[in-house]
Structure 1
């Protein structure tokens, strides 16, 4: 399964924000006009409709677009996971300040705890987002997950585990496929590759 493109996510999210009543066509186009032509919006709506993500209602001269309940539930979950990840980053800064005041030997153990918590928070969020419309929510979560990786996990992960080799990753994905299904394994693989590509681009830019 492939992730939805940025324009598809933008249109679908905007429609979903209209709630169960949806959003009027006359309101949708102006909202997206800053970065998307009306023709592009119309084509995207057509694709979303035939993919089952939205329904279209006509009441007289008024046309409304309504996101499916599954999509709206997925976005509620996404916002909740982003909130939890944001709180983790916020609390992390205070934790590190406190840890830096401790003795060196104690600092290492406390940093291991921080790194372990970070991996658990990220893993829980990704697995939670895999439940409903992951092709929409996972790309939106990658940005904040990458931020956590940059600020914490990439620096501290070596404290709790050696870096996974390509063979380790393949074996891990086989286990996920066995116990959670091929869909979860494939989406997790795509997510890991997206984060890796993002980090490689960042490192190239900084070098």
Structure 2
């Protein structure tokens, strides 16, 4: 558990850089430590972003394939467009929600009186609340997604129809597509 945030009163002494040393050759900055990549919170952040990337990859690769294979060719573009719009809309909602959460004080759950105004340069917003909300909602959504069948009931009928369309495009006059999918021409894969 991290301690409650106590803002430094010395930061306001230098209004130009708010206590950060931009020039290491400046005599005032010689005693201040450099930031380090050995900070455990930095590596926790890197691990979290890596897990987020790993977890969202199936949504785009497997999810798109699942939709395309389980609906008809006429309905497939509509579902893929809805998927694209929602995956584009999600980050926009996240930016606005994150902006709102930065207006909350970082330790709002542990302090009774907020020690400063939002316009103060020492203000730290509650950025971490968005990660908690996202992880809980991802866990809640994961259970219905895990309950999906490997193949929807109508998938075989849609595949057979797609194979018939492929044969019609090749000029085959045979209305019935072969039942053995390994004997399909290359265009039908």
What is the TM-score when the length of structure 1 is the normalising length?
A: 0.26
Higher strand share: 1
Instruction: Give TM-score, length-normalised by structure 2.
Output: 0.29
User: Higher helix proportion, which one?
Assistant: 1
